[in-house]
Chains A and B, each alone.
Chain A
Amino acid sequence: MSGITRRQAIGAASAVAGAAVVGVGAAQGPAVAAGHGAEPGSFDEVYLGRRIQGGPATGHGGHHADHGGGYSVRIDGDELHIMRNADGTWISVINHYDPQATPRALARAAVDDLQGAALVPLAPATR
């Protein structure tokens, strides 16, 4: 994942129907431009009445074996399965086809979709 590739991807996304590619996350700040190298900061806030937290995964309580991610997001204490794309954007199991610019935008999008429902831990079945 070279910087050239990343810039090309970002250029394509912003040049053509960028809103469809990066979604509402584009308004959330510079995470896309910062690229894959920079770890996003931690956050902890109440959004639409629910506590959303994000930060470096500390290895307790999560189920990271399935994706090896180094960052974790929680909604009311339950882990949201997330993944970072090569261009630095993020997706979750709730919004899997709609990359967001930051983990905070991803957490907020998940809360929007959940409409108050609780997350259910969903570890991949053994194959």
Chain B
Amino acid sequence: MTVRKNQAQLTADEKRRFVNALLALKRDGRYDSFVSTHNDFIMSDRDDSDRVGHRSPSFLPWHRRFLIQFEQALQSVDASVALPYWDWTTDRTPAASLWAPDFLGGTGRPRDGQVTDGAFASAGNGWRINVRVDGRDFLRRSLGSSGLQLPTKAEVDSVLAMPVYDAPPWNSASDGFRNHLEGWRGVNLHNRVHVWVGGHMATGASPNDPVFWLHHAYVDKLWTQWQSRHPNAPYLPAAGTRDVVDLHDTMRPWGNVTPAEMLDHTRYYTYDVAA
């Protein structure tokens, strides 16, 4: 059974295996196909028309399915690997072990934002940015340089306390848990973390930075924690909603999975601590 662990608790061997599996997927081209898929959805999901991956109720089940598919790809390289999660309320500075050279590497250099240490620095191991929106082919970050602070535990708790999953108009203007977690409204959790990391994480091609998966694994865990706090609160909307994935509608690009089938993560993985 796959057990997702806090990245801060990984052993040196677990970090090495995770990084090596990422590099293997990059080499065989599968990694970039995940970047392309994400960018396709982020460019086409719109508040006033069809929306699946973002700015909509299916933001959470869509990313859960996306991460499961990615985790299975990692496990096809090394069956011992699971996606770690990054609790950015706790590990909230560029000095965190997450950003050390033996794991994801650190922030970019001031001149051009280029990451220069770790396995994903452009100079080593072939981490070339192929799915990109501009001419630069090296991984970029600017940790915290936007002046933003990462969300606090109190801010996360204020969002976990919201009793309703989502609400009309089911987009970036919605009230409810999903949109506050996604960050288009209110204290801003998920979106703010993308901006804090900067570089590729701030763009539509954000999975170019491996921290994308650790960020979304924690967002996914927060969904589970919300379910635990509100055991009788359903995914919404239930049925018949235009442009939006209802509970039993299938989600693109897979076409064979519904939000209802993504509600219970324990069919796929568990956590190192009670969620």
Asked whether A and B interact, the reply is: yes
Q: Is A34 positioned at the interface, with any CB of B under 8 Å from its CB? A: no
User: B150-179 vs A: 1/0 string, CB under 8 Å?
Assistant: 000000000000000000010111010000
Which B residues are CB-close (under 8 A) to A27? none
Which A residues are CB-close (under 8 A) to B186? 12-13, 16-17, 21
Interface of B, helix, strand, loop or mixed by DSSP: loop
Decide: B44 and A124 in contact? CB cutoff 8 A.
yes
Residue of B nearest to A11 (CB): B185
Partner of A125, one of B36, B136, B190: B36
Report the separation of the CA atoms of residues A98 and B252 in the bound assembly, to the nearest whole angstrom.
Answer: 25
Partner of A120, one of B36, B46, B55, B134: B134
Residue of A nearest to B136 (CB): A117
Q: Is A50 positioned at the interface, with any CB of B under 8 Å from its CB? A: no
CB of B114 to closest CB in A, whole Å:
10
Decide: A117 and B40 in contact? CB cutoff 8 A.
no
Which A residues are CB-close (under 8 A) to B148? 20
Which B residues are CB-close (under 8 A) to A93? 39, 42-43, 133, 203-205
Residue of A nearest to B112 (CB): A115
Q: Is B195 positioned at the interface, with any CB of A under 8 Å from its CB? A: yes
Which A residues are CB-close (under 8 A) to B183? 21, 97
Decide: A66 and B135 in contact? CB cutoff 8 A.
no
Decide: A86 and B172 in contact? CB cutoff 8 A.
yes
Residue of B nearest to A21 (CB): B188
Q: Is A8 positioned at the interface, with any CB of B under 8 Å from its CB? A: yes
Decide: B202 and A98 in contact? CB cutoff 8 A.
yes
Q: Is B113 positioned at the interface, with any CB of A under 8 Å from its CB? A: yes
Report the separation of the CA atoms of residues A127 and B112 in the bound assembly, to the nearest whole angstrom.
Answer: 34
Decide: A119 and B202 in contact? CB cutoff 8 A.
no
Decide: A127 and B191 in contact? CB cutoff 8 A.
no
Which of the four size classes fits the interface of chain A?
Answer: 35 or more
User: A66-98 vs B: 1/0 string, CB under 8 Å?
Assistant: 111000000000000101111100000111111
Among B5-26, those with CB < 8 Å from A are none
Q: Is A38 positioned at the interface, with any CB of B under 8 Å from its CB? A: no
Among B21-66, those with CB < 8 Å from A are 36, 39-40, 42-44, 46-49, 55
Which B residues are CB-close (under 8 A) to A124? 39-40, 43-44
Interface residues in B, total, Cβ within 8 A? 44
Decide: B40 and A1 in contact? CB cutoff 8 A.
no
CB of A90 to closest CB in B, whole Å:
12
Q: Quick one: given A97-B195, A97-B202, A114-B134, are A67 and B185 in contact (CB under 8 Å)?
A: no
Partner of A122, one of B39, B184, B195: B39
Decide: A113 and B202 in contact? CB cutoff 8 A.
yes
Report the separation of the CA atoms of residues A107 and B172 in the bound assembly, to the nearest whole angstrom.
Answer: 21
Query: Can you identify 29 A-B contacts, CB atoms within 8 angstroms?
Result: A1-B48, A1-B169, A1-B173, A8-B175, A12-B186, A13-B185, A13-B186, A20-B192, A21-B186, A66-B44, A81-B204, A84-B47, A86-B47, A86-B169, A86-B173, A93-B203, A93-B205, A94-B134, A95-B203, A96-B42, A96-B194, A98-B146, A98-B191, A120-B132, A120-B133, A122-B43, A124-B43, A124-B44, A127-B253
Interface residues of A (CB under 8 A from B): 1-2, 5-6, 8-9, 12-13, 16-17, 20-21, 23, 66-68, 81, 83-87, 93-99, 113-115, 117-120, 122, 124-125, 127
Interface residues of B (CB under 8 A from A): 36, 39-40, 42-44, 46-49, 55, 112-113, 131-136, 146, 148, 169, 171-173, 175, 183-188, 190-192, 194-195, 202-206, 252-253
